[in-house]
Structure 1
Amino acid sequence: MERVSGCVLVVLAFFTRLAYSEDYFRMGTNTNTAEAVQFLREYDREASGMCYRVTMSQWKFVTNITEYNRRRMLEELALSSKFERLSWRKAAAYDSTRLPDPQNRRQLVKIVQSSRAALPDEKFSEIQQLITEMKEIYNSAKICPYGQKPYDPHVPRPPTYPDYQQMQSYQPTMQSYQHYQANQDNPELANYCDMQLDPEISRILAHSRIESELLYVWKSFRDKTGPKLKNRFMRYVQLANQAAVATGYRDAGDQMRAAYEDSSFRASVEEIYNQVVPLYKQLFTYVRRKLVQRYGETSVRSDGPIPAHLLGNMWAQNWKSIMDLVMPFPQSSNIDVTAEMLRQGFTPLRMFQMAEEFYTSMGLKPVPPEFWRGSMLVRPAQRSVQCTASAWDFCNRIDYRIKQCTEVTMQDLISTHHEMAHVQYYLQYADQPQMFRDGANPAFHEAVANAVTLSVYNLPHLQRVGLYQNKSHDPYEVSMNFLMTMALEKVAYLPFAFMVDQWRWSVFEDGVQNMNTRWWQMKLRYQGVVPPISRSEADFDPGSKYHIISDQEYIKYFLATILEFQIFEQLCIASGHTGHLHECDVYRSRDAGRVLSDMMQPGSSKPASEIIRAMTKGKTNRISPESLVKYFRPLELWLRVQNRDEPLIGWSSNYHDVALFAPQRGASGNTYISLSLLSTTVLHHLL
């Protein structure tokens, strides 16, 4: 799920640092406060106009992919980049400490600290070009089909997925695989080697249970991305650090963390992670046992980490696709109302109307007429479009849209409510200055949207709106199946979302040596995941994750997942809900709507700590995992029973696990590295 807001698009409000900024930066020398206030007024008007132009050009491109629209979009982005640099230079000239109005000070500091405009012109252009090139390499990555001799046009192509029984006849031979490796760049193979990450590769990883096929696509996609991206990424790290230092930060990771206005941010996030580890390890242990039953101990060691290609996702970040292997009660149903929606004649338009009514039932705002006129709610028939669901703010306080190739499925019904939550956020903070039209911190937008969908995707709500009427199964079994589905999506995701930026920050701090080794060391330590085959520094596996090479921070997704349950619980308390948290439905609760509105209206004009304190009525001003743990407590109790005979809750690592990514090459230095990684990893999980 995505949201597209003006502040993000023109890179005007990406980072802030207010809690300890004034002694951290060299302020400008211009003390003319009247001139500074006038600059902010002009900036607000001009930034809104620039944002509208950029957003409109991007909208036209993604909803009608043509070379002309692409050129127009790039032209607008180039103008936006120039505007950003000019605005930064003007703002940096003022001494923000002299401004009497704290909101004006906040805006000015956000502009000064928001970008990489402190770089010289040629380096500023270079880092933007590097990011563009890395994204293009990533998006163009394609692999050959599994089990087909790609050089033989007479061999029939594999059948359409997910008919995997037929795929059994397409086992690859070593000869065909070696020929593919030797000829994969042959232009004659272009018509055959056209499988992209989305949807073909992702579909295979989600649905195939043929281990050799999973390994093939897992490795092939990394072969097509990492080696081509590594050198560009290393130069990007160098430039990003130079920009951060010139702006007053220690390094680029320090600049990324500044948005959270917390001087002890890293310790705070580590503390949150440690509180969810026990739940994750219970889930991990149960899932591992099911994978051992499916693939055998030759593939998955019964007390060890899990090979990354077996978890249904390219990065092992979301395990919901292996639900068929781990469902607690297979004889009971899993919640899926797609068939009932089709029976009732749902259409994409009705789904969006239903989502809007969810919010208006809570006393929130209806979407304006421009939304219905401008949005792309279904895939157009006659043009190429980009279908990733996203919500758009056109920065003029009138025009808000959603882009989604909606189909009548339960998954798209949930997505519709999610994207409408982003639009509701836009509507709520529309009266704020342009710099403040964003979430209280980078985690808030996704957290709010996901918190609302927790109320939509549950049994009581689906029964309430007439979409779930199956009463033939044991409610407890249905509930456990539902919670397992949610845990595979939410709980399994937390260690990955936590470790991505731990790795990135370490690269910014310590340099680009041994990047791949450190990546897998962290995946083993935090996720309990190892590569299925040996990896080296030539592979650069972090390059297989789009957010890394596209310069998008990731810790916000970890915090958003924690925060969504915290917000959800507060909405449930306001609505008067009693009982299990996962059964709460805030539909039609005006009191819950007021809590939500009060959170959204300030935008980023206030620190997140103030928003959380108001939301919790003074109980805390920090993001807390207590609500997430409470939500999954029934499942955790069930998992503890299932795991009672397991000798180890979690995983232990041995030399062979570590040697997969830090292999001994005969030199004593390399042997020492491997043993050091082994000792720290094992120690972490056995204590």
Structure 2
Amino acid sequence: MLPKIFIIGLIHLLTVLAKDASIEEEEYEARNFLAVLNKQTEKDNNRLTKANWAYASNLTENNLKNQLAIAAEVAKNEKEAWQRVGQYNWKSFSDPSLRRHFQKYSVLGTSALPEEKFKQLNKIISDMEAIYSKAKICPRGKKETDGEECKLGLEPELTNILAKSRDSEELKHVWVEWRNAVGPKCRSLYEQYVNLSNEAARLNNFSDTSQYWLDDYEDPDFKNQIQSLWEQLNPLYLQIHAYVRFKLREKYGDIVTEKGPIPMHLLGNMWGQSWHNIGDFMLPYPDVVDNDLTEELRKQNYTATKIFRTAEEFFKSINLSEMPDTFWQRSILEKPADREIVCHASAWDFYDQKDFRIKQCTEVTGEHFITAHHEMGHIEYFIQYKDQPVKFREGANDGFHEAIGDLIALSVESTKHLRKLGLVHNEKDDPKQVLNHLFKLGLSKITFLPFGYLMDLWRWDVFSGKTKPDDYNCKWWELREKYQGVEPPVDRSEEDFDPAGKYHIIADVPYLRYFISFVIQFQFHRSLCEKAGQYEPNNLEKPLHECDIYQNQVAGNTLKQMLAMGSSKPWPQAMEVITGQRRMDASGILEYFKPLQTWLEQENKKNNAHVGWEPSKKVCVRTRQELNEAQKNNTTAFSQT
């Protein structure tokens, strides 16, 4: 007779084997199910993207109606697939790739909403996008009754005024009227959007939309990681902020205080997110002849198409892919004259492994030259991971997608590269010219960092309910002051809704990806430059800011390997392919701008420029009536009464 302990062990073993056999059989069935589901998802995504493109490239009611109808049909299919996915015991699968695939399908997103609420949410977002894209204002001194002249849109008219005008009253007019044209019309819609978006998040087992957005980063400590990165970068930002405020005060006088936040309308950009347009009157070495990329592009008869062909040539030179013929046939590279479109530059994957497009209202400027490389970076990512299952056809995280084009642009913007293209003519870099270039780039990269961070800080608190609708606008300005050290040109109230003046807010686009991108693009750049033999730590002959990986296939092949992964692995593994690290690290950007930071610290000390800022003198209250009272009483700081 067998010992009792042996019998118990045998029963346990048979049970385990039976269970394993059951799981193995379920995994086999699951793979077959996913093969069918992948084709259906690909087909649905293609239909929906075509409808989205049709509307974004021609803002008509018919196109909107078609977009919403197809979105509803696709949502219905997604919900059915989601329910079937839930019938599998996928968390017990032995294959980690299979588990990951099911995990991606287990989060449904807004399609979890009941059909009518899903349609309502999409209609609200589309309506806000239309308000934003169609908004027009009058020139200063004109009224709507003046008719023809009151047709200034964001792109290119208002953007150009903010970039080029040095008339503070004109800048204030444009800043205020743009927000008047968009914010109040979007406010009630935005409250509805928040409620419906949170309802969808809860149906996906998240507490609110902020938790849903953060889930993609696959790390419960991710918020703290981001906070640590910002703390690492803040000293650099404080130095450039102090220098810029000092120079603005020299130019505009007392409308810029010595120690307070910077009036945002003076920063050359509608949102104060990039300050490079005001670099012309505050360069470290103003007497050094500057390389004017815009002027050179126009002198050499660049067109929108030539700009994008130049970008394509860079990617080809590092052994990445050329654009397919359909890209050139179907992309919109210039603003059409015959219809309203969403001009915000964007790259599109149509999920059929061959149709990839860019929509950009390109102007022949240095800024758009760089933007073209950024957008084509998205397309290159699409092409490299096109053979992945459709749920893995996305960036390792959304910051990766934004980083790729900007990574390339770091090489493109170097004088070394522009000289190769014949867009810079001097044979050797002047150190003063190099510092001017670093400063101008810092006015784009460094100044963006707090803005890229606070956009979602604001939304996380809105979604969680910590910031109530009655405090939307004042909380917005509280964060703008706290992290950016900027203030509005006029007092604000809760009857305004200034967050809506930024496209990503009303278009339901998370923004943390851009902050992440601005950190990791330098981390990637440093690693690829080392692989290309163009950068060595502590070697003054090979500084990071002068590296250009153009025509280097060793760097390109490393990048290609990472791009092809899509999101098939957690992002730290994708990070490791390029950098050998599994965490984000801000030391790359700090090293890149080290010569600039040293110069800024010396200059601010010499000028006795205040570093940091005191509370704003502007007010933010609930109503216009309270605003009038506050102004009479000379109330200070952003008060949420």
Q: So what's the TM-score if we normalise by structure 2?
A: 0.87
1:596 equivalent among 556, 559, 564: 559
Residues 1:207 and 1:372: Cα distance change in structure 2 (over 3 Å):
closer
* Distance change in 2, residues 1:269/1:37 (3 Å): same
1:460–1:318 distance in 2 versus 1, CA, 3 Å: same
| Alignment match of 2:134 (pick from 136, 140, 153) | 140
**Distance (whole Å) between structure 2 residues aligned to residue 150 and residue 223 of structure 1:** 13
Q: Is the 8 A contact 1:281 1:649 kept in 2?
A: no
- C-alpha deviations, 1:266-293, integer Å up to 9, x for none? 1100000111111111100000011101
The equivalent of 1:639 in structure 2 is 600
Matched, 1:630 2:587: no
CA offset digits 1:610-668 (Å, max 9, x no partner): 11122222xx21111111111111111111111014556433324x63645589969xx
Could you tell me which runs of 5 or more consecutive residues in structure 1 were left unpaired when the two chains were aligned: 1-28, 154-189, 667-673, 679-687
Residue 232 of structure 1 and its aligned partner are, at CA, apart by 2.1
> Structure 1 residues 552, 101: CA separation in 2 closer, same or farther (over 3 Å shift)?
same
Q: Which amino acid aligns with 2:543?
A: H
Structure 1 residues 358, 72: CA separation in 2 closer, same or farther (over 3 Å shift)?
same
Are the aligned partners of 1:142 and 1:196 in contact in 2 as well (CA < 8 Å)?
A: yes
Instruction: Show the counterpart of 2:5.
Output: none
Residues 1:82 and 2:76 aligned together: yes
Aligned with residue 176 of structure 2, among 208, 215, 219 = 219
2: distance between equivalents of 1:234 and 1:376? Answer: 33
Deviation at 1:397, TM superposition (A): 1.5
Counterpart of 1:48 (choices 36, 42, 46) is 42
Aligned residue in 1 for 2:513: 556
Count of matched residue positions in the alignment of Structure 1 and Structure 2? 601
2:160 to 203, 212, 216: 203
Q: Which residue of 1 is the match for residue 449 of structure 2?
A: 494
Residue 313 (structure 1) aligns with: 269
Distance 1:419 1:516, change over 3 A: closer
Note the 1:502-651 alignment, pairs <5 A: 502-509=457-464, 510-512=466-468, 513-578=470-535, 579-617=542-580, 620-645=581-606, 647=608, 649-651=610-612
Look up the match of 2:8.
none
**1:425 equivalenced with 2:385 (yes/no):** no
Paired residue type of 2:259: D
Q: How does 1:11-160 map to 2 (within 5 A)?
A: 32-63=26-57, 69-151=63-145, 153=146
Amino acid at match of 1:563: I
The change in CA–CA distance for 1:116 and 1:627 in structure 2 (over 3 A counts) is: same
Shift of 1:320: 1.2
- Partners in 1 of 2:337 and 2:134 — Cα distance? 24
Conserved? CA contact 2:68–2:119, under 8 Å:
no
* Cα separation, partners in 2 of 1:511 and 1:411, compared to 1, 3 Å: closer
Secondary structure, aligned partner of 1:481: helix
- Cα gap change, 1:327/1:228 in structure 2, threshold over 3 Å: closer, same or farther? same
Greater shift, 280-289 or 106-115, is seen at 106-115
AA aligned opposite 1:229: C
Q: Which amino acid aligns with 1:567?
A: F
Which residue of structure 1 aligns with residue 6 of structure 2?
none
**Cα distance in 2 between the residues matched to 1:282 and 1:559:** 21
The answer as to 2:170 corresponding to 1:250 is no
Counterpart amino acid of residue 289 in structure 1: F
Deviation of 1:209 after TM superposition, in Å, equals: 1.6
Q: 1:136 to 1:398 in 2, by over 3 A?
A: closer
Aligned CA RMSD, in angstroms, stands at 2.9
Alignment of 1:450-461 (within 5 A): 450-461=406-417
Deviates more, 1:571-580 or 1:333-342: 333-342
> Which digits, 9 at most, give the CA deviation of each residue in 1:42-83, with x for residues without a partner?
211011112222233444455566665555444433332333
Flag the 1:573–1:270 CA change in 2: closer, same or farther, 3 A. same
C-alpha change, 1:212 and 1:365, in structure 2 (3 Å) is: closer
Partner of 1:657: 617
> Quick one: distance in 2 between partners of 1:629 and 1:90?
48
Change (3 A) 1:233 1:445: same
- For the 8 Å contact 2:133–2:341, the answer to whether it is kept is no
Letter in 1 for 2:438: L
Question: Residues of 2 paired with 1:409 and 1:192: CA distance?
Answer: 25
- CA 1:677–1:192: 2 relative to 1, 3 Å: closer
1:601 Cα offset (Å): 0.8
Q: Aligned AA for 2:463?
A: F
Give 2:432's aligned amino acid: E
Structure 2 unpaired stretches of 5+: 1-22, 536-541, 628-634
Per-residue deviation, 1:250 = 2.1
Superposed CA offset, 1:12-49 (max 9, x none): xxxxxxxxxxxxxxxxx9x9544433332121101111
**What pairs up with 1:161-560 in 2 under 5 angstroms?**
191-297=148-254, 299-342=255-298, 344=300, 346-377=302-333, 387-406=343-362, 408-470=364-426, 475-509=430-464, 510-512=466-468, 513-560=470-517
Deviation at 1:453, TM superposition (A): 1.1
CA distance in 2, matches of 1:385, 1:662: 34
Q: What is the SS of the residue equivalent to 1:514?
A: helix
Shift of 1:442: 0.7
Q: Give the letter for the 1:503 counterpart.
A: W
Q: Classify 1:434/1:222 alpha carbon distance in 2 versus 1 (closer, same or farther; 3 Å).
A: same
Answer yes or no: is the 8 Å Cα contact 1:33–1:98 preserved in 2. Answer: no
Letter in 2 for 1:506: D
Bigger fraction of residues in helix: 2
Counterpart AA for 1:211: S
In structure 2, how many angstroms separate the alpha carbons of the residues matched to 1:542 and 1:62? Answer: 21
Q: Which moved more, 1:585-594 or 1:509-518?
A: 509-518
Output the TM-score relative to the length of structure 1. 0.81
